[in-house]
Amino acid sequence: MGRQRQKKDRDRQTRLEHHLLNDFQHGLSLSPTPFADMAEVLGVSENEVLTTLQQKKQEGVISRVGAVFRPNGVGASTLAAMAVDKNEIERIAEIINGFDAVNHNYEREHEYNLWFVLTAENEQALAEVIKEIEQQCGYEVMSLPMLEDFHIDLGFDIKWT
Amino acid sequence: MPDKSSEQGKTTNLSEADRKVVAGIQSGLPLVSRPYAEIGKAIGMPESEVIERVAGLLKRGLIKRMGVIVRHHELGYRANAMVVWNIPDEKVSELGQCMGCFEFVTLCYRRPRRLPDWPYNLFTMIHGRNREEVLDKLAFLVRRCHLQDITHDILFSRRRFKQRGAVYQPVLEKFSSV
């Protein structure tokens, strides 16, 4: 295979990746074969779509292909904050990460320096997890459940430059 | 206008069948030719019903979108700030709607204040390649939504300790590793 041909293939793959990541963040077709439908739009094979998505998932660029649920729609969730002693933050973060109910956990620049999202099947289960986290960490949790969602979620426009 | 906020905050009662579908899809569709058929096999439901129920969840707004879910950080958007605002209650809806329609604002939620420690009632998330880009976007937001007189605080992320999709239903054995 010539060098020019190789470059052409690489460019094509890069374009395919960009389109897959940017153009299909919402509106995934609800047909039995959503990936074949994507392939048709892009003029590539279903196999190329699946292979590329699998690879991007492995690299961690894609977290998943599927649903974004409305907060508190299909379960109970809350944003939790803790004001943790700086020297203890790694130890506390590790304890928090150990809970199945935790899906995001960030250190942020504020007196409330640990911010994590908790999700459970219902309000009662959520309250129990919060209590358990407080007991294990020795810090109080400030729970800030969503009251109203103003965001129209159509995904995120990625700038490639 | 009906009070949307109290409705939004409430947890919806899902049917047993819908719950199964949520459990089946919450960690993402399997990357195979017929993903809904595979989910259906795992939860004991025909492919057509899985699709119908997903469509129903979308229609009812319980699913906000179906698609490729990217990780900002891995795409080079290394800076993210949670910008929190202390907005008079009577203005929160109007200003929230203004902020929520910008594509670079990836979250826009009203949350309760916790006085005296926490006066902020509106939360927005802004991603950028670096801090400067985030601050530029924030300045743009302030101008466009006329937020000059609104107190806000910027909480840049320092470290990410964990990020994954939410688990709403007990994870099915079969999908836990997909």
pLDDT in the model for residue B11: 52
Predicted model pTM: 0.81
Contacts with B, A 113-152, CB within 8 Å: 113, 115-117, 119-123, 142, 144-152
Identify which has the larger pLDDT, B120 or A27.
Answer: B120
| Distance in angstroms (rounded) separating the CA atoms of residues B129 and B145 | 23
**Span A43-67, mean pLDDT?**
95
With an 8 Å Cβ cutoff, are B168 and A121 in contact? yes
pLDDT in the model for residue B141: 97
Contact B124, B142 (CB under 8 A): no
Confidence band of A33 (pLDDT split at 50, 70, 90): very high
> How many A/B residue pairs have CB atoms within 8 Å?
271
- B26-57: per-residue pLDDT in tens? 889 999 999 999 999 999 999 999 999 999 99
Please, what CATH class does the domain formed by B73-156 belong to? alpha beta
Please, what CATH class does the domain formed by A76-144 belong to? alpha beta
**Span A34-60, mean pLDDT?**
96
pLDDT cut 70: percent of chain B above it? 85
Nearest CA in chain A to B129: A159
- A104-136: per-residue pLDDT in tens? 899 999 999 999 999 998 899 999 999 999 999
Which one of B31, B117, B152 would you mutate to disrupt binding with A, by most A Cβ within 10 Å of its Cβ? B31
Of A59, A116, A149, the CB nearest to B8: A149
CATH code of B14-68, in short, is: 1.10.10.10
- In the DSSP assignment, the letter for residue A155 is -
**Helix (H/G/I), strand (E/B), else coil: B44:** coil
The structural domains of chain A, with segments of one domain joined by +, span 3-59, 76-144
| Distance in angstroms (rounded) separating the CA atoms of residues A103 and A132 | 16
Contacting residues of B for A94, CB less than 8 Å apart:
161
Answer whether residue A55 shows pLDDT above 60: yes
Contact A61, A22 (CB under 8 A): no
Q: For the packed helices A3-23 and A46-59, what is the interaxial angle rounded to 10 degrees?
A: 80
CA distance B151 to chain A (A): 16
Contact B106, A151 (CB under 8 A): yes
Identify which has the larger pLDDT, B163 or A141.
Answer: A141
| Lowest model confidence (mean pLDDT) among A1-5, A147-151, B35-39 | A1-5
Nearest CA in chain A to B159: A107
CA distance B95 to chain A (A): 9
CA distance B106 to chain A (A): 7
| Distance in angstroms (rounded) separating the CA atoms of residues A114 and A129 | 16
Phi-psi map region of B58: left, alpha, beta (phi>0 left; psi -120 to 50 alpha): alpha
Intrachain domains B14-68 and B73-156 with the same fold: no
The structural domains of chain B, with segments of one domain joined by +, span 14-68, 73-156
Alpha helices in chain A (DSSP H): 3-23, 34-42, 46-59, 89-97, 123-137
CA distance B102 to chain A (A): 8
Q: How large is the ipTM? A: 0.81
**Span A40-67, mean pLDDT?**
95
- B85-124: per-residue pLDDT in tens? 999 999 999 999 999 989 889 899 999 999 999 999 999 9
Nearest CA in chain A to B60: A73
Contacts with B, A 22-61, CB within 8 Å: 24-28, 30-36, 46, 50, 53-54, 57, 59-61
Answer whether residue B3 shows pLDDT above 60: no
